[in-house]
Structure 1
Amino acid sequence: MMDERRKNKRLPLRLELNISSLFKQDQLGIANLNENIEVVDISKSGVGFRCKDKLPIDYYFDAKIELTKEKFFYGVLKIVRIEQQEDAYFVGAEFVGLAEILSKTIDAYGQEMDQE
């Protein structure tokens, strides 16, 4: 179990996300990764997900976050931690420069989840 470091409330989220490439500032990226991942939760500060391969810490990737069919946004995430689990890795990634309007979209999604 990972230490509790969350700054914001985590909301459950189930969707498939595909990472086509990773990149790092001032360095060449890792292309053609095509890593299928299972997103576990989301907050205003980041996303938690499981994947089969160990991804490098401090690398970035572009993501489309689909909260519902009608509510989605694009963002950049930075991999900040990784923990090996039984048959996969759990990865913690933080949003980089998430706009306030997108942060409010995540808050609204959390309120909808609380009402269900």
Structure 2
Amino acid sequence: MRIEKRRTKRIDVDVTVSLRQLGDGFVSGYSSDTVDVHVIDISKGGIAFESDYDFKINSYYDTIITLANKESFGAVIEVLRKDVHGANNVYGCRFVGINADDQFKIDVYQLLHDNGEAQ
């Protein structure tokens, strides 16, 4: 059994978001301004997403996340880790640019999710 080391509880989600690199050195082999990724979980501390693109560790991206309850917020994320899962990579990211009001939206979504009210 694995011991959970995260400070905040993660919630499974099924959301597609666009990431836009901040700074230079975008996704290797990709020349567009944004990349769409599939977010698989979220917490007040960050997100995990799947993608077949090769994101650089310690790179920063701007995004807007819309939750199933239609709440949306903008955030800056930092890519911290990469795990290979078949054809896709799963990336773990932390929020580095998110305000308290937007963290509260995640709290509310988590409560709805825990009570079976989030879709």
Runs of 4+ more than 6 Å apart? none
Partner of 1:97: 97
Is the partner of 1:58 in helix, strand or coil? coil
Partner of 1:22: 21
Counterpart residue type for residue 113 of structure 2: M
Is the partner of 1:57 in helix, strand or coil? coil
Q: How many percent identity over aligned positions? A: 25
Q: Please give the TM-score of this superposition, normalised by the length of structure 2.
A: 0.83
Alignment of 1:105-116 (within 5 A): 105-116=105-116
Counterpart residue type for residue 94 of structure 1: R
Deviation of 1:72 after TM superposition, in Å, equals 0.4
In structure 2, stretches of 5+ residues that fail to align are none
Partner of 1:72: 72
In structure 1, stretches of 5+ residues that fail to align are none
Deviation of 1:3 after TM superposition, in Å, equals 8.1
Is the partner of 1:8 in helix, strand or coil? coil
Deviations 1:4-55 (A, max 9, x none): 4421000111111122x3234xxx2426254221110000000001000221
Q: Please give the TM-score of this superposition, normalised by the length of structure 1.
A: 0.85
